[in-house]
Structure 1
Amino acid sequence: MRLQAFLLILLLLYGAVAQAEPCAAPALVITDISLEGNETTKSQVMLRELTFAPGDTILTEGLEPLLQENQKRLFNLRLFHHVNYTYTCADGQVQVKYQVQERFYLYPIPIFDFADRNFNAWLEKEDWSRIDYGINLIQKNFRGRNEEVRVRVQRGFNKRLELGYRVPYVWRRHNLGADFSVADYRSRTVSYTNLNNRQRFFEQESGMPIKRTSVAAALVHRLDVQRQEGLRFSYHNEQISDSVTFLNPDYYHDAQQERQYTRVELYKVINRRNNFAYPTAGSYFDAMVSQTIFLRNTGSPFTAFRTKYVKYVPLSDKYFYMAGAEGQLRLAGEHAFADNIALGYRSYVRGYELYVIGGQHYGLFKQGLTRQLLDIESIKLKFIDNPKFNNIPLSLYLNSFTDAGYVVDDVFDKGNQLTNRLLVGGGLGLHAVTFYDIVLRLEYTLNREGNRGFYFSARFPF
């Protein structure tokens, strides 16, 4: 028996060596690519993202880097919890298999949100009536083709109705996709001006002082999951009450209570981050130019340019550095207050979350040093049977940061001291990243004005 077992072990070892030996050859040929675990996702959706195909010849030392890079590309589709790969070599030929764990693709997300720019802006008012509620229904990976259907029904302080549909490919030969959306927004209050870089609100007891409706369609040239460019057309109709016009005649400038306009946007995105939810390596670039044309003499046309670049550098296994900049130019003969948006909404200097700095142009710089504190690949929830929900990853990061920004406003700067002034803020933050790309941030900041405090956010800082 011992002799037989010994001979069996030798035979297995010989077979393993014989099978692995061809992988030491200078070049290899990819003969097959198989997929496993994609019960919903169509195979062509995944294969289209790969940078190699059956019949390709690659250098042996480039095999592992190639498979790892494509593993990241599949993961960044945001369709899977996990993406793994295996391969076998025989006679200089390689067979590759990618195994995935699909996510749950129907997201019925209840809406219970604050009717302000951020949590701290809402907390400052201590007004529980400024709450929005409803449901945001998102069907990702619709028909298994990475399409997306969006329905948002929101009530409460701000009322919204939004419908959207995105299809990655309508013309496969040229990698062209499309995005369509319709939105209606109405609110019980409107920020009619800024004073001391704080919003001043008008609230109407009955009726809605502001209404916005829009229709948009975009044609997207999608080279891959990391690079795309597009052309978007949109039509907008906006109305305000006569009380808003009385409080600020420049709210719409030429138009008194209603304006209509079309907008054409051309944009490009190059997203080479290793992880789209919380990147620690790679880079991100986007640029956009738009032309807004008002109908029926309801405004002065303007051209806007916006660009952003961020670099993420891993310093070691636990330490990471990030630095990036963003800027905007808006060129027009005349400016309406409603369009005078710079820092304080989508982009801001941390430490100035309670302020709104309006203007025509702005520049923003952010940098941060991050230390990973915890990285748990999976927390098993034994009381849940569904594998799409019972494994929760959790990562914790300690982040130190400094931000700087500058806003140029030559029209509405009166009474707003932070405009046309260098803004500087910094602090420490604790960031948590968990499943379905959820990012939670708690940060303590100090700004140039001497303001300090804790701020909470639910998205990646830059």
Structure 2
Amino acid sequence: MFRICYLSALLWLCCLRPCRAQEAAASTLAVVTDTSYIVVRNVTITGNKRTRSSYVLRELSYLPGDTIRLKDLSATLEAGRRQLMNTTLFLNVIGNVRNWEGHSADLVFEVYERWPLLALPIFKLADRNFNQWWVEQGRSLNRVNVGLKGTHSNLTGRNDYLNGIVQIGYTQQLAFTYSLPYVDRSFRRGIGFTFAYSRNREINDSSSGNKQVFYRRDNFLREVYNVGFSYAYRRALHTRHQVFLTYNFEKIGDSVALHTPNYLGRGRSRIQYLDLLYRVSYIKADSWIYPLKGIALEGELEKLGIAPLNDMDHWKIRLKANRYWQLFPLTYGALGLRGQAKFPADQPYLNQRAMGYQEDYLRGLEYYVVDGTSFFILKSTLRRQVAAFDVKLPWVPQKFNTVNVRMLLKIYGDAGYTYSRFPGNGFLNNRMLYTGGIGMDIVSFYDSCVRLEYSINQLGQKGLFLHTKIDM
């Protein structure tokens, strides 16, 4: 019965047609015919103290000399405002028309920059989600990471990102990342660098009954080094191509290799390999952080192991597609499909993590992992905004003291399948899985989101789950 209800709801959501929201014309515009237009004389950015105007203009889809019909002017300004908001550099953006003379006018965008430099304490759970830590791991503080994270999101005014992490606790980590979106005058090519080192006294070396199994000793059992370089190419606004080349070195204790010979494969205690990844993404949505209307596509082709650094050797293909609609005023639908395949299917345990890790899980199966080399996940969500309000923060500069809060009720249903050549005693492997539930998303300041979800899975298990990352 649960499966029938789920499939019926999913079919209903797929068949709905998005309704087009009626956009009001700007109050300063008179009623005009469809042939009325303006010619853009200049596009000007104001309010930017750190961000370079040339970078901001790169994010807009029109140039001086372009023609805009008056009936499309409000929609054009709103599209530009949202595009600039999606850079995550600004708290707010206001688009306007000035110096209107005949058929010519200037487009002006006033921006309110975010505070770029943040130094934040780290309090992060080592487990896959809050419920697993709270229920299965008994809220153990030994499974918590603490430290300091420093971030500068606009170091030279070109949306270049500098991030550093110093962390102790369950995982001791030192990491550094720098990303520069554009290095050329045409604003198309960017580069990035990353370095990370981490070590643990405990290691997830296997799974049993679709539960993670951990092996622990007093000494450090696992050390990992990563050094990488990235290259990005973005010719148009919505499409981005990226190439990542990363050197990886991992060493485990001899006791781990003896206890679980298949963790790194063939009883090895250390491996090193090159990872070459190509990614192409297309995003055209009202928000890149919490989208309600639009589309997001992403594809990856990855090769682990390039001679002579090929202790790990496999190919991976990964695809992700999300579609978002406004169905009615304040009511939104979303469908998401993601999947991956690795070749060959015979892989060490380290390369068999599939469903249940990071963002690849079914809502309602948070307590389980489904290991394998290939999987797909289908997600559907129906949201209704029930509240939106601003909160004023005391003792905070006026520019930053307003926090916008939105609350959305939702119903959802997920389905998925994981293929494993060696499932062992995994009873969720190689079979269709279904979940569903109701919940609420609370979306707020600096792209933060708290999700409260009451889910049920096909095993008949129910539970209330807490997440702090945006889903879909």
TM-score normalised per structure 2? 0.90
**3-state SS of 1:120 partner:** helix
CA-CA distance at 1:316 after TM superposition = 1.5
Q: CA 1:24/1:400 → structure 2, altered by over 3 Å: closer, same or farther?
A: closer
Contact in 1 for aligned 2:340/2:375 (Cα 8 Å): yes
Match of 2:287 among 272, 275, 289: 275
Match of 1:177 in 2: 190
The answer to whether structure 1 residue 461 and structure 2 residue 461 are counterparts is no
Deviation string for 1:23-54 (max 9, x for gaps)?
98633211122222111111111111111111
Match of 2:179 among 166, 172, 181: 166
Q: CA 1:356/1:170 → structure 2, altered by over 3 Å: closer, same or farther?
A: same
Match of 2:88 in 1: 78
Amino acid across the alignment from 1:417: F
Deviation string for 1:47-81 (max 9, x for gaps)?
11111111222333332222221111111111111
Match of 2:441 among 425, 431, 442: 431
**3-state SS of 2:153 partner:** strand
**3-state SS of 1:315 partner:** strand
**3-state SS of 1:350 partner:** coil
Deviation string for 1:132-163 (max 9, x for gaps)?
10011110011211101010111011111110
Amino acid across the alignment from 1:125: Q
Within 5 Å, which residues of 2 pair with 1:246-257? Answer: 246-254=258-266, 256-257=268-269
Within 5 Å, which residues of 2 pair with 1:23-422? Answer: 26-88=36-98, 89-123=100-134, 124-126=136-138, 127-173=140-186, 175-205=188-218, 207-224=219-236, 226-254=238-266, 256-293=268-305, 299=311, 301-332=313-344, 334-346=346-358, 347-376=360-389, 378-381=390-393, 383-411=394-422, 413-422=423-432
Q: Distance in 2 between matches of 1:365 and 1:239?
A: 36
Contact in 1 for aligned 2:412/2:437 (Cα 8 Å): yes
CA-CA distance at 1:300 after TM superposition = 5.1
Aligned length: 442
CA RMSD of aligned residues (A): 2.0
Q: CA 1:421/1:174 → structure 2, altered by over 3 Å: closer, same or farther?
A: same
Q: Distance in 1 between matches of 2:407 and 2:110?
A: 27
Q: Distance in 2 between matches of 1:22 and 1:384?
A: 48
**3-state SS of 2:220 partner:** coil
CA-CA distance at 1:423 after TM superposition = 1.2
Contact in 1 for aligned 2:243/2:278 (Cα 8 Å): yes
Q: CA 1:434/1:136 → structure 2, altered by over 3 Å: closer, same or farther?
A: same
Contact in 2 for aligned 1:25/1:92 (Cα 8 Å): no
Contact in 1 for aligned 2:58/2:187 (Cα 8 Å): no
Kindly report structure 1 stretches of 4+ aligned residues shifted beyond 6 Å: 19-25
Contact in 2 for aligned 1:258/1:298 (Cα 8 Å): no
Match of 2:451 in 1: 441
Contact in 2 for aligned 1:409/1:420 (Cα 8 Å): yes
**3-state SS of 1:395 partner:** strand
Q: Distance in 1 between matches of 2:410 and 2:313?
A: 42
Match of 1:8 in 2: none
CA-CA distance at 1:204 after TM superposition = 0.9
Q: Distance in 2 between matches of 1:232 and 1:156?
A: 29
Q: CA 1:214/1:170 → structure 2, altered by over 3 Å: closer, same or farther?
A: same
Amino acid across the alignment from 2:193: F
Q: Distance in 2 between matches of 1:30 and 1:298?
A: 55
Amino acid across the alignment from 1:144: G
Deviation string for 1:86-117 (max 9, x for gaps)?
11322111111111111111121210111111
Larger CA Rg, structure 1 vs 2: 1
Q: Distance in 1 between matches of 2:325 and 2:348?
A: 41
Q: Distance in 2 between matches of 1:254 and 1:262?
A: 19
Match of 1:7 in 2: none
Q: CA 1:66/1:74 → structure 2, altered by over 3 Å: closer, same or farther?
A: same
**3-state SS of 1:68 partner:** helix
TM-score normalised per structure 1? 0.92
Match of 1:6 in 2: none
Unmatched tracts of structure 1, length 5 or more: 1-15
Q: Which moved more, 1:112-121 or 1:365-374?
A: 112-121
CA-CA distance at 1:389 after TM superposition = 2.6
Amino acid across the alignment from 1:138: T
Amino acid across the alignment from 1:358: D
Percent of paired sites with the same residue: 28
Contact in 2 for aligned 1:300/1:332 (Cα 8 Å): no
CA-CA distance at 1:255 after TM superposition = 5.5
